Every structure is written in C-alpha cells, then in structure tokens.
Chain A
Amino acid sequence: MASKKAHKDRNMRDLRIGSNIAIMRKVLLDPILFGTILLVLAIVTMFIVFPIANILKESFIYKGAISLHHYTEIFRLSYNKEIILNTFKLGITVSILSTIIGFGFAYASAYVKVKYKKLMNAIAILPIISPPFVISLSAILLFGRVGLISKGLFGIQNANIYGFRGLVLVQVLTFFPVAFLVMVGLLQQIDPSVEEAARDLGASRWKVFTTITVPLMAPGIANAGLLVFIQSVADFGNPMVIGGNFTTMAVQIYMQGIGSLDMSGATALAILLLLVSVSAFIVQKFYLGKKSYITVTGKVSRQRELIEEKNIVQPLSFLILLTSSFVGLMYILIPIGAFVKIWGVNNTFTLDHFKYVISIGIKPIVDTTSLALIATPITGILSMVIAFLLIRRKFIGKAYLDFTTMLSIAIPGTVVGLGYVLTYNKAPLILTGTGTILIIAFVMRSMPVGIRSGMASLQQIDPSIEEAASVLGASSKKVFTSITLPMIKPAFFSGLVYAFSRSMTLVSTIIFLVSAKYSLLTVTTMSQIDQGRIGVASVYSTILIVIVGSIILLMKFALSKMGVSADEIEL
C-alpha cells in the first residue's frame, strides 16, 4: 500500500514539474519503447480512426460537394425511418427480456442452492464459441415452415419465424448470457451481511430482495441492459438470416453498401448507428460505471448462505432447466440438421450434405482456420503490449490510445466493414480482396476486449515489481518479456482463446471484405441459408463449432502442460 502511494505521489510530481518534455525525454531515451509506441499509434489510427473518419467525411459529400443530402435522404424516406425504428424496437425489447432472464440466472447462481450451475455456465459460453447466427439457423429448424415444433408438433402449415418475433427470440437466447455474466459477477460482490442486516431488522426474504438486492443491483442491471442493447443493434448475422422483411440498420448498411453498391448512401446510416451504440456505451461506461454501490460495501466478509427453501429452489430450478435445455436444444439441432435429408420433409439419415461440402471444396474451412490462426497471436501480443503501455507508461498520445481502443468495443462490425471498404479499396493502400485485410479485421475486432482484460490484470500487479527488474538492469523490452508477461499469463492466454473464437465466428465486418480469393466459413454458411440449403449450412456450422471447440480444448490442454491452470483461463 505504502509503495503504491509513493509511486502515485511520484507520478503526480513527475506530471507537475516534468510536464510533457520530461515524458518525451524519457520515452526518447528508450528506442524500443519509442518505436513500439509509434507503431501502436499508427495501427490504431489506420484501422480504427481513419476508416471511421472516412465514413464521416463521405457522409457529408454528395456529388463532389459538401452536403447533408445523405442525412436528409434517411429522414425523407419512410422506409429508412422504419428501419431506424425497427432497430430501436428490437434493441429495447431484446435488452429488457435478456436482462430479466439474465438476472434470474444470475440470482439463482449466486443466491440459491440450485443444481444446474455447471449447466448454466456452459450455456453462457456457447454464444462465444458459435457464430452469431447459429440460433437463427436452429430457430428455422424448429419454427420454420417445416419446423420440428411448428409443423411437427402443432401441424401449422407455413409457419413464419422470419421477422420481429423470431428475431427477438433468437437475439434473447443469444445475448441473455452476456447479461447473466455481467450480473452474476456483481451479485457475488454484494456483502451478504448487508442483506443479513435487513433480515435482522425484520425484512422478509421478498422485502430484502425488493428493498436491498434490487436497488443495490440497479446500476448493474442497467449496465447489463445497455450492453445487450449495444450487441442487439450491432448484430448483423441474426437479422440477416431471420429478419425477413424486418430490416435493421446494421443489415441495411450492408444491403445498401454492397447489395446496391451505394457506399456513400450507406455512410449516413452507418454514422447514425455508430452514434446510437457509442452513446449507449458512453452512458454505460462513464455514468453507470461510476454509480456502482457494490464497491462501497467493500469486501465480502463471509460466504453467502444459499437459499434452500423448497418453494424458491424448485420453481427456479425448473425455469433454469427449461431455458437451458431450450438453448441446448438449439445447439444440438445444428449437427442433427447436418445429417437429415430435407428437414421436416424427408427426415432420413444422409451424408449427402457432407459429400456436397467436400465436393464444392473445403476451402472455406482451410481459409478461415488458417487466417484465424495467424490473427490470434498477433491479437494476443498486440493487446498485451497496448495494455502494458496504457497502465505502466506515460507518453504523448496515451489518452488517444486509451479512448480509441475502448470506444472501438462499441463500434458495430458493419460500420467497421464499410469503413475498411471505403478506405482500402483505392490507392495508396489497396487491401480489399487480400488476406491481409481479413487478418486486420480479425485482429481489430478482438483486440479491444483483450486490451481491457490485460489492463485489468496489470492493475493488480504492484508496479514496484517491474521497477525492481529495471533497477537490476533489465531494459524495457526485457522487463516486459521476463516480468510483466509471465505475470499476466492467464489474461494473455484467455485473450488468445477469445481472439481465435471471435475471428472464426466473425461475420459483420468481414462480409464486406471477402473476395473470390478467400472464402470464409461464416459468410459461406450465410449464403447457404440464403439459398435455402439448410442441411449444408448445418454442416458448415457444425464444422465451425467443432473447430473452435477443439482448438479451445487443445489450447487449455497445452496451457495446463505449461503450468497455467484451466480455471485461470476465463472466457
């Protein structure tokens, strides 16, 4: 504690007297550090800031002159207005429903003696290792025209899953785990004695829940809701697959930009979408983040006594089992669908879809996996380096680096995709169609989360440990590789796992960037669904999930051999 304070005091003094000149001198004296900072700033500028700036610029240009034409066009056409309304309607509905279900899961996990905790955690991880449209695909298998439940169970002819209701169903099932994970962490941080105090003062369980637990969680609940909202409005895969006539902004940006080849027309909509998700993110990050009550209650003094009353445990267990099995069913259906001739019409076993996939080539599988494998270590190292710079070093441009990498979490994938196409399809740097731009997209989409988890784990390490190394003669590179990196190993490796899964399952950004030269699994799958080849799409999805799942297991296994326990690697 004392050393931390001393360190802080010294930092303050540095800032006061040294100002920028001192910082610059310090940085210049260390060429490796200086070079790294320049490189990182260049990367962030080129692939986060510049593409967005380009969209912004383009959105104000019409026929070579500065104009508000693209914006007025949005609000002139009732079709566009409807799309914006759709996006909000969907985002708000999904956010509310997901938060309610997520809270139920979180409360059960942290407060109640239910049996299915492992199952709950497994369900929470599924959306991370699967492409974003998988639930849509199985929703079609279940509730589509020839769906297992719609036609099979209820005999409904021509059931229509496409549209708002179907989209709400799949997005809720996809995103409620996000809300669950956010809230379960916060609930576990509430000091049980606060609730015991209320109980002791005469409050019933229900009264404690309504007057203590829920108010304490209010910022956390709002936080979870906003995170789901951001994901919902940015989601491209599900609305694309199952939206039907219900179009959202993320889909429309693609349709207009790539489908109708009207890039500049799409820019205004992209800016609007960006504004929506970034402002939601800023509220979440800067307003709610500061409003947390839970930090006030301090350390958890003792383990919580889990609720054992049957009248609470049993209904809650039942609801959780029901929801979890439903989500589980959604995922199990995919591999089953891969082996069925024509779903709902001719349900005989077949290997035809697999044969078809092999006959048209396993190129998407090879391409996706190899590109993701290249992007993964780059993401991992870059994230940790940036995290290290942000936490441990002072340099000009630090605030800029911090702000852009954080904000890029909230930038919808379609917006990034549009920005890349606008920026890198003309001289001086033509990257569209190359593998390079795909790798860059992979890296830039998974890096922000890696940076944040790296920063979180670095903050827990006393800076004096690193200072001790440099006093003993280690250069800044040596300090990073021999001291810092080993200490943040768990965060580094979970970053790798995350980067790989995210790269494999990415759709929104790369759908703008694919070319004849490289075909990617997610994009191929989507076009198969689009053509009605549900069986083939199921095969591709199955393969994708199997590859991601097995690489994760392989990494965990390799890491346990290297002395990082599987528990330390968080997803």
Chain B
Amino acid sequence: MKKGIIIKNLTKIFLINNNSKIVAVDNVNLEVEPGEFVTLLGPSGCGKTTLLRMVAGFETLTDGEIYIGEENVASLTPDKRDTAMVFQNYALFPHMNVYDNIAYGLKIQKVSKPEIKRRVQKILDLMKMNDFSNRVPSQMSGGQQQRVSLARALVMEPGVLLFDEPLSNLDAKLRIHMREEIRKIQKEVGITSLYVTHDQSEAMGLSDKIVIMKDGVIQQIGSPREVYQKPENAFVAAFIGKANTISGTVLAKDGKTYTIDIDGKPHVISSKKEYEVGREVEMIIRPESIIVGKEGYHTEVVKSIFMGENHEYEVRWKGQVLQISEPNPYSKRTYEVGEEMSIDFDETALHMI
C-alpha cells in the first residue's frame, strides 16, 4: 500500500560537547503525495540526509511531527515504520546470499515460506537478477549490489521507499543507467519515494518534485521545470545549473506583467510576485537564454570555448561577466576572445527573484 508522507515543523538539533549545537533541520514542512517521487537536493551538510534518517527512524526528532500515511511515527523505532531504505553503500548482509538478503525482511514478518519464495522470485524477475540468487555480496559489482539493495527494499512493498544517495558510489556511466532503472521501476510499482542526492542532474532526471535545502532550511519545492526556470532565489538558481544574475528597475506594472528597464532598454516580464514601480529588482537568466548576435547590448568576449554540443562564452557587460551557452554551434559564427558581441535577453526566460 503506497502511503503519503506529511512532515510538520520538523527540527533536529545536534548537541556537540554539551555547549555548542548544530541545527541540522530547521522547521521543515513537506508533503509527499502517495506514489510521488520526491528528491531532497542540496550541498553536503544541508540536512537532507538527517531529514531522511528521521523519516526512517534512525534519528530522533527534536521537534515536529512526521506522518506516514495516517500514522504519526515520531515515537516509533525504525522496525515499526512502514518504510524501506536503500543505502549509499548498499549495506547488504555479507554473510547471506542474494536470495536470503532479499528474503530477510519477509522472514522477520513471518511470511510463509512459499509466499516468500514467490515474492522474492517476482522481484528477481523485475530486476532481471535471476542468475544472481545464490551469489554472496562479495562476488558482485557495486551496481549489482545496489540492485540487490533496491530489491531487498522493494520486496517489502513498503508504504514509503527511502533512498540515501544510492548512486554516489557508482561510476558515471553506471550511475546514469541505474538512475533510469530506478525511475522505470518506481513508475512500474508506483511506490512513494523520498530520495536524497547532491547531484542536480540525478534530481532532475528522477523526480516529480524537488526539494532544495540549504543549512537545514527548505529553499524551494517544485517540479524540475519550476526549480530550473523559476528559482525562488539566487542559491537555488546557482545550485540547479548555471545562472546569471542581472539587475533592472520596475518601470510599469499591469497585473502580473511588469515592464523592467535593463540598462536603458525595456523588457516585458511576467511574475507571480508583487513588485512596486520604481523598485530595483534582480533577475535570473540562464546561459542558453541569452541570444547571441541579436542587436541589444554590446559586450566584449573574454572566454570562448567550443564544447561540441554548444559553444560557451564569457562576456563582459556593464562591469559584470555573463555566461552564455550557444547551442548547435555548427551553423553559427564563432566569436574569439577580444571580439565585440551583441546580445539580447530572451524575455520569456527572464525570471525575477
């Protein structure tokens, strides 16, 4: 039975040497719908793993509430919670073979032998790991071990599946492969998933919803598209992809549509937020949303690198450096360092923060 997660005003404070303390998770509110795939994303030390471990029951709560389905789990030990976890270092039982590893939780639940066999077999089929059932962990590669770890969690048919940076110990190619596999299986089984990572492309590739954290505080919750295109603040913008921050002044306001003056030229931008006329605002523009060669602003090229699928420039403009990424460089002219380049901003991509 897939279940939702509701986290209310959750706080975790670690005491260090009695006098100093660290606020690892700071008044966090979060809702995960049943069947949803939600990723906690942030730099190391942002509290994402602590949050996950509190949901699993490995860390006690300093304050707040956690509901899994209808149940308040704050006082339950990990074994009493309807969760299963996939660990960063797989955490397989080294003294058991693949079959026994996967069957472990079912045996604890005293599921009948034939039923265990049937369910383990089903998972092995799903993971295409039938040939491995007699292997022990030391005879398998990291990727294979992580699949067993996922199978061991899935076989429990938990209300919530938790992932603690499961791909970070794998090499780059395998990571992308496993990422797709996790996404596929999660869609197939339809299980509620909470996933921790510090890799933004992993978060983008997997999630229905991304939660971006910094210093224990949630910065933004949104779909991959939202957090990329409409970042709440400069931290989110910079953490998800590359971003330029430029400033301008509000000239006029018509409902949710604003006219912004950027270096003497008006731009029409829509925003959900309220800004007064005459106020100075900051805007985010992604490197690929700066149009090269269109008459708008004059800049000087300070860096020019051919990357294959795109051409990356850094240009000096108004005392700041802008990053530009021009896609499909095949059919376009190349600017060298020192050359003058005229650019303009794609108005639909300008986002006020």
Give the interface of A toward B (CB within 8 A). 191, 193-194, 196-204, 207, 211-212, 215-216, 218, 293-294, 296-299, 301, 305
A245 vs chain B, min Cβ distance (A): 45
Given A201-B152, A301-B88; A293-B95 close (CB under 8 Å): yes
Among candidates B59, B87, B138, residue contacting A197 with C-beta atoms closer than 8 Å: B87
Chain B residue nearest in CB terms to A291: B95
Q: What are 15 A-B interface contacts by the 8 Å CB criterion?
A: A191-B89, A193-B87, A193-B89, A196-B87, A197-B93, A199-B79, A200-B57, A200-B84, A200-B162, A201-B153, A202-B79, A202-B156, A204-B77, A207-B79, A216-B93
B64 vs chain A, min Cβ distance (A): 19
Q: Once the chains bind, are A197 and B89 in contact (CB under 8 Å)?
A: no
Is there a chain A Cβ closer than 8 Å to B143's Cβ? no
Q: Once the chains bind, are B94 and A197 in contact (CB under 8 Å)?
A: no
Among candidates A200, A216, A297, A298, residue contacting B79 with C-beta atoms closer than 8 Å: A200
Given A201-B105, A203-B108; A216-B94 close (CB under 8 Å): yes
Given A197-B87, A200-B85; A207-B94 close (CB under 8 Å): no
Q: Once the chains bind, are A296 and B137 in contact (CB under 8 Å)?
A: yes
Q: Once the chains bind, are B89 and A212 in contact (CB under 8 Å)?
A: no
Interface string of B98-137 (1 = CB under 8 A from A): 0000001100110000000000000000000000000001
Complex formed: what's the CA distance from A204 to B108 in Å? 9
Q: Once the chains bind, are A201 and B87 in contact (CB under 8 Å)?
A: no
Complex formed: what's the CA distance from A293 to B97 in Å? 12
Complex formed: what's the CA distance from A197 to B137 in Å? 15
Chain B residue nearest in CB terms to A199: B78
Chain B residue nearest in CB terms to A208: B79
Complex formed: what's the CA distance from A204 to B89 in Å? 22
Q: Once the chains bind, are B109 and A202 in contact (CB under 8 Å)?
A: yes
Q: Once the chains bind, are B104 and A198 in contact (CB under 8 Å)?
A: yes
**Chain B contact patch, size range:** 20 to 34
Is there a chain A Cβ closer than 8 Å to B350's Cβ? no
B108 vs chain A, min Cβ distance (A): 5
Q: Once the chains bind, are A196 and B58 in contact (CB under 8 Å)?
A: yes
B99 vs chain A, min Cβ distance (A): 15
Chain B residue nearest in CB terms to A204: B79
Residue numbers in A under 8 Å from B213 (CB-CB):
none
Q: Once the chains bind, are B91 and A207 in contact (CB under 8 Å)?
A: no
Complex formed: what's the CA distance from A216 to B94 in Å? 8
Chain B residue nearest in CB terms to A219: B95
Give the interface of B toward A (CB within 8 A). 56-59, 77-81, 83-85, 87-89, 91-95, 104-105, 108-109, 137-138, 149, 152-153, 156, 162
Complex formed: what's the CA distance from A193 to B57 in Å? 13
B58 vs chain A, min Cβ distance (A): 6
A13 vs chain B, min Cβ distance (A): 28
Q: Once the chains bind, are A201 and B84 in contact (CB under 8 Å)?
A: yes
Residue numbers in B under 8 Å from A296 (CB-CB):
94, 137-138
Complex formed: what's the CA distance from A191 to B105 in Å? 19
Q: Once the chains bind, are A293 and B94 in contact (CB under 8 Å)?
A: yes
B345 vs chain A, min Cβ distance (A): 45
B254 vs chain A, min Cβ distance (A): 54
Given A193-B89, A200-B85; A297-B104 close (CB under 8 Å): no
Chain A residue nearest in CB terms to B139: A296
Complex formed: what's the CA distance from A298 to B94 in Å? 10
Residue numbers in B under 8 Å from A305 (CB-CB):
58-59
Residue numbers in B under 8 Å from A293 (CB-CB):
94-95
Q: Once the chains bind, are A301 and B89 in contact (CB under 8 Å)?
A: yes
Complex formed: what's the CA distance from A198 to B87 in Å? 11
Q: Once the chains bind, are A197 and B91 in contact (CB under 8 Å)?
A: yes
Additional pairs, 17, CB under 8 Å, beyond known A196-B56, A202-B156: A191-B89, A191-B91, A193-B87, A194-B93, A196-B91, A197-B93, A200-B57, A200-B78, A200-B83, A201-B153, A202-B108, A203-B104, A203-B108, A294-B94, A297-B91, A305-B58, A305-B59
B61 vs chain A, min Cβ distance (A): 14
Chain A residue nearest in CB terms to B149: A197
A423 vs chain B, min Cβ distance (A): 47
Among candidates B56, B83, B89, B93, residue contacting A298 with C-beta atoms closer than 8 Å: B89
Nearest 7 interchain pairs by C-beta: A201-B105, A296-B94, A193-B91, A197-B91, A293-B94, A199-B78, A202-B108
A310 vs chain B, min Cβ distance (A): 15
Complex formed: what's the CA distance from A298 to B156 in Å? 25
Q: Once the chains bind, are B95 and A216 in contact (CB under 8 Å)?
A: yes
A424 vs chain B, min Cβ distance (A): 49
Complex formed: what's the CA distance from A204 to B77 in Å? 9
Q: Once the chains bind, are B104 and A201 in contact (CB under 8 Å)?
A: yes
Complex formed: what's the CA distance from A76 to B137 in Å? 53
Complex formed: what's the CA distance from A215 to B97 in Å? 13
